[in-house]
Chains A and B, each alone.
Chain A
Amino acid sequence: MSTAPQATSVASGLRIQTRVTGALIMREIVTRYGRHNIGFMWVFAEPMMFTLGVVIVWSLLRTHSTRLPVIPFVVTGYSSLLLWRNTIGRCGNAVEPNRSLLHHRNVRVLDLFVARLLLEVAGASISFLTLATLITTAGFMPPPYDIFPMLIAWLLLAWFAMSMGLIVGALSVLSDAVDRVWHVIGYLFLPISGMFFMVDWLPQRIQNLALFVPTVNCIELLRGAYFGPGIHAHYDLPYLVTVNLVLLLVGLVAVKGVAGTVEGE
């Protein structure tokens, strides 16, 4: 099968891709947040409020172990949680409301996912950045020990979330049940996602098991870089990159597979 949609060079293909993705992102923002009050700023205001709320509750309740300062521990953990959970969750029902847009040649099923993925990752990132900056400036948490590895950790987590988003999104095209089941899995996954613990606190036997979880590796790297040599972070970068690559490949193949079955309404 080969279809030549006019003679397009890579450059003009990229231009079209950027234009379509941009149009889809704007369309998402307008339908989700409208033009009322703060409009598109909800993209990051919402996760910020969430994280801030959790920080306050945890600080007041003091349920947290005192091994690490509670505020930076929660800010790093909860921001990471929102990054993967929102990004994957938004892909569940990405195609159905947009099916009529597939009448336009340049709008492809993959574009519908990419627009939502980029929007969620941007929202979670701006939220984390703003919140961390504000709280640090206010003096409630010390500045990070080393920012660069934190950035790497964040990007690796975003990569994981986007790959998983493609897989969950593609499967949910085949059956609505996938979207619902994913929300349950996401919730049950919380305790082992790495948000609530450092691997170093776990018994030796469980440490090795915990490092099989991709998000645990990301959060360890993030917190290790934030807190510095005072703590012992455990992570396996080659393993994480391999898992991300495999998931991304599976995701892209799955989307390509279901794209053939979806048509404009």
Chain B
Amino acid sequence: MIQLDQVVKRYRTRAGRHTVLDGVSLSVSKGDKIGILGRNGAGKSTLIRLISGAELPTRGTIVRGMSVSWPLAFGGAFQGSLTGIDNVRFICRVYDSNFKDALPFVEDFCELGKFLKEPVKTYSSGMRARLAFAISMAIEFDCFLIDEVISVGDTRFHEKCRHELFDKRRDRSMIIVSHEARNIREHCSRACVLTDGQLREFADVDTAYAHYQAA
């Protein structure tokens, strides 16, 4: 269970304080698949970072009763001067996972071959995304946070990711934020819209999408 209660997030900007989230509450049970729609700058990534715990709310509380991933499926969360393998090692240490078990899976899944021994800063964005996805699948979480649905690599690799995350890990919770409805419609059972710092939940994805389009 993850519980957000009246979460407020403000940032200081040159033009004064900017409120991104203004009293967001949400409760996620085991197995829930929640899609959150929002336009660019609506605060989707901020919300995901707060749920992950990478940032702290200005006000309100977030209780994580299950293990939660970092925001997945982009090139971040890596240290550029470390090699791919050293990044796997680092992340295993931080999450108390067994590196020896994780490495063969990552090697096999990301298909980066000898480049795993090169610094991540030399990778293309596609290679980085493949490594990121492979590492995040090597560590088990109860809830996955997904910031814009993974468009990793070519169609075949994309399908492999979809299978690994959405089929094999059907029983886990997921929170997907996106600015478009297709992936949310495909994978989510609950749907919310984030506008003006407020999160509103709708009965189904289509109602949410209609509201999102009208807003």
* Interfacial residues, chain A to chain B (CB-CB below 8 A): 1-6, 16, 19-20, 22-23, 26-27, 30-31, 97-98, 100-107, 260-261, 263-265
Report the bound CA distance from A106 to B184 in whole Å: 29
Contact (Cβ within 8 A) B81 A104: no
Residue contact A4 to B76, C-beta cutoff 8 Å: no
Bound: A101/B96 CA distance, A: 15
Known: A23-B90, A23-B93. 20 other contacts (CB 8 A): A1-B58, A3-B57, A3-B62, A5-B53, A22-B93, A26-B89, A26-B93, A27-B79, A30-B82, A31-B81, A31-B82, A97-B80, A100-B78, A103-B52, A103-B71, A104-B91, A105-B52, A105-B54, A105-B68, A263-B54
Instruction: Let me know if A264 and B54 touch, CB within 8 A.
Output: yes
Task: Verify B90–A4 contact, CB threshold 8 A.
Answer: no
A97, A261, A263, A264: the one contacting B12 at CB < 8 Å is A261
Number of A-B contacts (CB under 8 A): 86
- Complex CA gap A105/B53 in Å reads 5
B residues less than 8 Å from A20 (CB atoms): 93-94
Contact: A97 with B79, CB < 8 Å? yes
In the assembled complex, 9 residue pairs joining A and B whose CB atoms fall closer than 8 Å, in A order, are: A4-B61, A27-B82, A97-B81, A100-B76, A100-B80, A103-B71, A104-B77, A105-B54, A264-B76
**Is B65 interfacial (CB 8 A cutoff)?**
yes
In the assembled complex, the Cα of A102 lies from the Cα of B55 at a distance in Å of 9
CA–CA, A263 and B9, complex, Å: 13
Pick from B62, B63, B86, B95: contact of A27, CB under 8 Å: B86
A103 and B79: CB pair below 8 A? Answer: no
B24 smallest CB distance to A (angstroms): 14
Q: List A contacts of B91 (CB < 8 A).
A: 104
CA distance A19 to B91 in the complex (A): 11
Q: Are A6 and B64 in contact (CB under 8 A)?
A: yes
Q: Is the CB of B54 within 8 A of A3?
A: no
Bound form: Cα–Cα A102–B52 in Å: 11
From residue B64, how far is it (CB to closest CB) to chain A in Å?
5
Set of chain B residues within 8 Å of A260, measured between Cβ atoms: 56
CA gap between A20 and B79 in the complex, in Å: 14
Decide if B179 is an interface residue (CB 8 Å cutoff).
no
Tell whether B70 is near chain A: CB-to-CB under 8 Å.
yes
The answer to whether B93 and A3 have CB atoms under 8 Å apart is no
Q: Within B111-159, which residues are at the interface with A (CB < 8 Å)?
A: none
CB B205 to nearest CB in A, in angstroms, measures 28
B34 to chain A, nearest CB (A): 19
Q: How many angstroms between the C-alpha atoms of A25 and B56 in the bound complex? A: 25
Closest chain-B Cβ to A96's Cβ sits at a distance in Å of 11
Q: Is B163 an interface residue (CB 8 A)?
A: no
Are A263 and B55 in contact, with the CB atoms below 8 A? yes
In angstroms, how far is the closest chain A Cβ from the Cβ of B15? 16
When chains A and B are docked, how far (Å) is the Cα of A100 from the Cα of B53?
A: 14
A31-B82, A107-B94 known; A4+B63 contact, CB < 8 A:
yes
Q: Which of B49, B55, B94 has the most CB of A within 10 A?
A: B94
Residues A104 and B58 in contact in the complex (CB < 8 Å), given A30-B86, A264-B77: no
Contact in complex: B77, A1 (CB < 8 Å): no
On whether the beta carbons of B77 and A27 are closer than 8 Å, the reply is no
B95 contacts which chain A residues (CB < 8 A)?
104, 106
Q: In this complex, what residue of B is CB-closest to A1? A: B59
The answer on a CB contact under 8 Å between A103 and B53 is: no
